[in-house]
Structure 1
Amino acid sequence: MADKNFPLSGWSSAAIHAGHEQDPNSSHITPIYATSTFVFDTAEEGMERFASLDKEKVYSRWGNPTFKECEQKIAALEAFGLSDENGQPLELKALLHASGQAAMATLFFSTLKAGDKVLSHHSLYGGTYELLHKVLANSGIEPIIEDLHDLEKAEEWLQKDDSIKLIHIETPANPTIRCVDIEALTQIAKRYGKLVSVDNTFATPYLQQPFAYGVDFVFHSTTKFLNGHGSAIGGVLIGKDIHFMKTTAWKWHALLGGNANPFDAYLLTQGIKTLELRMERHCHNAMEVAQFLDGHPNIEHVNYTGLHQHPDYYISAKQMRHPGPMMSFELKGGLEAGKQFINRLKMCTRAVSLGTVDTLLSHPASMSHAGLSRENRLLFGITDGLIRMSVGIENVQDIIADLDQALRG
């Protein structure tokens, strides 16, 4: 086992070694602790575990050693190379959940109460949009949707409505790949004493570290690139207020019942170890695919921040290591062209979700965002012919060849 005092200078080193503790039975890999509860040798030991803020060995809805390594690893990667206000290495606390939606629920309910408002933007993941409007709204928490690329509008809202307690952003956003300036928006939020949370699912901590810009929380659907193989559902909430995360956030997490399970946590831990290698190939392929699509006669336009014409090209370049593996593109021909394109694919995978080693394509208007009205979809930039693409790590020539034959029909 790596010495905890050895300074890790490489990102992949942290992805492999951070959070790992030697198993008492000398297992190389952290075991799957498939147990619902944990035994106490004495009444005093039980009392100590219940009193502790780290409830790792009480009951697996509260915590579990398999969860712990995964949580510590993700927190270490989001904090990698960052310092706190005192110049010390940044410390973060992560809470692993059964799904991204469960982690999102913990974020919102631990930071907001009836009468509060949350400010967010257009082009959100459909599940986030529905959680805001169908669950939070019914709980007396009002969502405000604004164009947060317009920083003046964002500040106007904060000036006129003190009920706004949280600003939640998704950058890059799903599925238009729009980016929000994390640093600029966070600076405005802090002037008014507001919390900021960032959905970092599309970027991963390898491409983007929102805590570098002063945000309070980062969220991931770990189902996606962190796991990398489509083998397990999961979500994680990371915060820099350690006490809050171990008390208020943990309490909501435990009471809502959105705990992870040991097997999915194990799969996630193994997936994270290869994240840098996978993301490098994902990103390389995505740039080539975007350039191919940008010149294709059957494509209206491509949403990819690595292309100079993308409206958020410079924002992405400022806060991301690389534009990333996600893109969307508009087909000439609308809804029918979108369905025909999806049906013609021969190698690439027809599926919702993203972040797996194979290339995934979906048609948001008829799939992930079908629950939204057409009016709202268009407001969010989700047009009838829009295709979302998660570029995989296959040979890039094969990806391009499949896309080309599907586009030509």
Structure 2
Amino acid sequence: MANKNFHLKGKGTVAVHGGNEPDPQYAHLTPIYASSTFYFDTAQQGMERFAGADKTKIYSRWGNPTHTVAEQKIAALEAHGLTDEDGSPLQLKALLHSSGQAAMTTLFMSNLSAGDKILTHYSLYGGTQELLTKVLAENGIQTIITDLRDRELAVAAIKNNPEIKMVHIETPANPTLQCVDLEMITVLAKQHRLVVSVDNTFATPYLQQPFRYGVDFVFHSTTKFLNGHGTSIGGVLLGRDLQFMSTKAWKWYVLLGGNANPFDAFLLTQGMRTLELRMDRHCSNAMAVARYLENHPAIAKVMYTGLESHPDFEVAKKQMKHPGGMLSFELKGGVETGKQFIDRLQMCTRAVSLGTVDTLISHPASMSHASIPKAEREGYGITDGLIRMSVGIENIEDILADLTQALAE
């Protein structure tokens, strides 16, 4: 196990060693602490644990040693190489949840109250969209949606809605791959003393570090690229205000009951150990697929941040190490042609979700975004014929061969 005083230079090394804690039984890998509660040696020790900042050894809804290692590893990845205002290494606090939706709920409910408004943009994950427009709306919190890629529109929205307390960004966005300029929006938000949160699920901390630009919170659906193998559900909320994360955010986390479980946390930790290797392969394969589709006669449009034809190419290039493993495309024949294409696939997996080692292909209009009204969905760029592709780590010749035969007339 790496010494905590030994500086880890590479993110791949951080993914392997970051956040690890010595096990009292000398286990090489952090064990699954399958215990609902933890005993106290004395009454005084129990009192100290309840009174202290670290409540991970009381009750597993409050925290668990297996959760802690996963949280610390993600925090180490997001903070790697970054400093705070006084030049010290950036310190982050992470809270591991049972799902991305649970983590998103903690984020919003701990920061917003009835009468507040939240500013966000077009093309969000369907679950986030519904949480904002249905659950938050019923609790007196209004969502303002505009194109945050346009600074003037963002300025107008903030000016016309003084009740806005938070700006929430998903970049790259699901499933259109729209990219918001993190630096531009964060500078604007801070001028108006607004909290900024970023969904970093598509990019992962290996490709993009939103805290570099001064954002307050970062969110991940850990189910996706961080786990990488489709073996567990989870979500994580990270914040730079350690006091807030250890008090108000933690209290909402505990009271809403969205805590993770030790088994899923263990699977997540193991998955993250290969994050750098997997992401490099995801990215190189996705670029090859995007280039192939861009030149295919059956394809009307390809949305991939690594293509110069993408409207947000320059923004993605500025804030992402690589364009990522996700892309979307439209077939010229529309929805029926899209269904035929999906049915013809021989190797690529027909499934929702993303970020697994195998290539996943889905139809957002009828799957992940089916609950969004058609007119609203299409206004966000999610048309009936849009196909989303999470490019896996298979050999690229096999991915292209499957696409070729599925696209053949």
- The bucket for the TM-score relative to the shorter chain is over 0.9
Residues 1:206 and 2:227 aligned together: no
Name the CA distance, whole Å, in 1 between partners of 2:378 and 2:337.
17
Amino acid at match of 1:28: H
Name the CA distance, whole Å, in 1 between partners of 2:304 and 2:33.
41
Name the CA distance, whole Å, in 2 between partners of 1:161 and 1:382.
27
Answer with 145-154 or 89-98: which moved more.
145-154
Per the alignment, residue 74 of structure 1 pairs with: 74
Per the alignment, residue 308 of structure 2 pairs with: 308
Name the CA distance, whole Å, in 1 between partners of 2:36 and 2:55.
13
Name the CA distance, whole Å, in 1 between partners of 2:172 and 2:132.
19
Amino acid at match of 2:45: E
Per the alignment, residue 15 of structure 1 pairs with: 15
Per the alignment, residue 64 of structure 1 pairs with: 64
Following superposition, the deviation at residue 19 of structure 1 comes to: 1.0
Name the CA distance, whole Å, in 2 between partners of 1:96 and 1:59.
15
Per the alignment, residue 140 of structure 1 pairs with: 140
Q: Secondary structure in 2 aligned to 1:365?
A: helix
Matches within 5 A, 1:268-307: 268-307=268-307
Per the alignment, residue 118 of structure 2 pairs with: 118
Name the CA distance, whole Å, in 1 between partners of 2:297 and 2:160.
47
Following superposition, the deviation at residue 375 of structure 1 comes to: 0.1
Per the alignment, residue 39 of structure 1 pairs with: 39
Residues 1:225 and 2:236 aligned together: no
Name the CA distance, whole Å, in 2 between partners of 1:54 and 1:114.
31
Q: Tell me the TM-score normalized by structure 2.
A: 0.99
Post-superposition Cα deviations, 1:211-237, rounded to whole Å, max 9, x if no partner, equal 000000000000000000000000000
Name the CA distance, whole Å, in 1 between partners of 2:246 and 2:180.
29
Name the CA distance, whole Å, in 1 between partners of 2:160 and 2:145.
15
Matches within 5 A, 1:317-356: 317-356=317-356
Per the alignment, residue 267 of structure 2 pairs with: 267
Per the alignment, residue 151 of structure 2 pairs with: 151
- Maintained 8 Å contact 2:98/2:235: yes
Amino acid at match of 1:116: D
Name the CA distance, whole Å, in 2 between partners of 1:162 and 1:91.
31
Answer with 156-165 or 366-375: which moved more.
156-165
Per the alignment, residue 368 of structure 1 pairs with: 368
Moved segments of 4+, more than 4 Å: none
- Maintained 8 Å contact 2:146/2:157: no
Post-superposition Cα deviations, 1:203-262, rounded to whole Å, max 9, x if no partner, equal 000000000000000000000000000000000000000000000000000000000000
Amino acid at match of 2:52: S
- Maintained 8 Å contact 2:326/2:390: yes
Q: Secondary structure in 1 aligned to 2:185?
A: helix
Amino acid at match of 2:361: L
Matches within 5 A, 1:98-117: 98-117=98-117
Per the alignment, residue 183 of structure 1 pairs with: 183
- Maintained 8 Å contact 2:19/2:72: yes
Following superposition, the deviation at residue 160 of structure 1 comes to: 2.6
Post-superposition Cα deviations, 1:340-389, rounded to whole Å, max 9, x if no partner, equal 11111000000000000000000011111111111011011011110000
Q: Secondary structure in 1 aligned to 2:369?
A: coil
Q: Where does structure 1 lack aligned partners over 5 or more consecutive residues? A: none
Name the CA distance, whole Å, in 2 between partners of 1:121 and 1:9.
35
Name the CA distance, whole Å, in 2 between partners of 1:380 and 1:405.
31
Name the CA distance, whole Å, in 2 between partners of 1:283 and 1:265.
25
Name the CA distance, whole Å, in 2 between partners of 1:368 and 1:26.
43
Name the CA distance, whole Å, in 1 between partners of 2:52 and 2:327.
45
Name the CA distance, whole Å, in 2 between partners of 1:308 and 1:128.
29
Following superposition, the deviation at residue 159 of structure 1 comes to: 2.0
Following superposition, the deviation at residue 407 of structure 1 comes to: 1.0
Per the alignment, residue 164 of structure 2 pairs with: 164
Name the CA distance, whole Å, in 1 between partners of 2:132 and 2:407.
36
Amino acid at match of 2:149: H
Post-superposition Cα deviations, 1:73-99, rounded to whole Å, max 9, x if no partner, equal 000100000010100000000000000
Amino acid at match of 2:99: S
Amino acid at match of 2:43: A
Amino acid at match of 1:118: I
Count of aligned positions: 409
Post-superposition Cα deviations, 1:25-81, rounded to whole Å, max 9, x if no partner, equal 110010000010111111111111111121110100000000000000000100000
Following superposition, the deviation at residue 9 of structure 1 comes to: 0.8
Q: Secondary structure in 1 aligned to 2:247?
A: helix
Amino acid at match of 1:366: S
Name the CA distance, whole Å, in 2 between partners of 1:88 and 1:128.
34
Q: Give aligned-pair identity as a percent.
A: 69
Q: Tell me the TM-score normalized by structure 1.
A: 0.99
Name the CA distance, whole Å, in 2 between partners of 1:156 and 1:144.
11
Name the CA distance, whole Å, in 2 between partners of 1:373 and 1:153.
24
Following superposition, the deviation at residue 100 of structure 1 comes to: 0.2
Post-superposition Cα deviations, 1:152-210, rounded to whole Å, max 9, x if no partner, equal 11111222322100000100000000000000000000000000000000000000000
Following superposition, the deviation at residue 18 of structure 1 comes to: 1.1
Post-superposition Cα deviations, 1:132-170, rounded to whole Å, max 9, x if no partner, equal 011000000001111111111111122232210000010
- Maintained 8 Å contact 2:144/2:157: no
Residues 1:403 and 2:387 aligned together: no
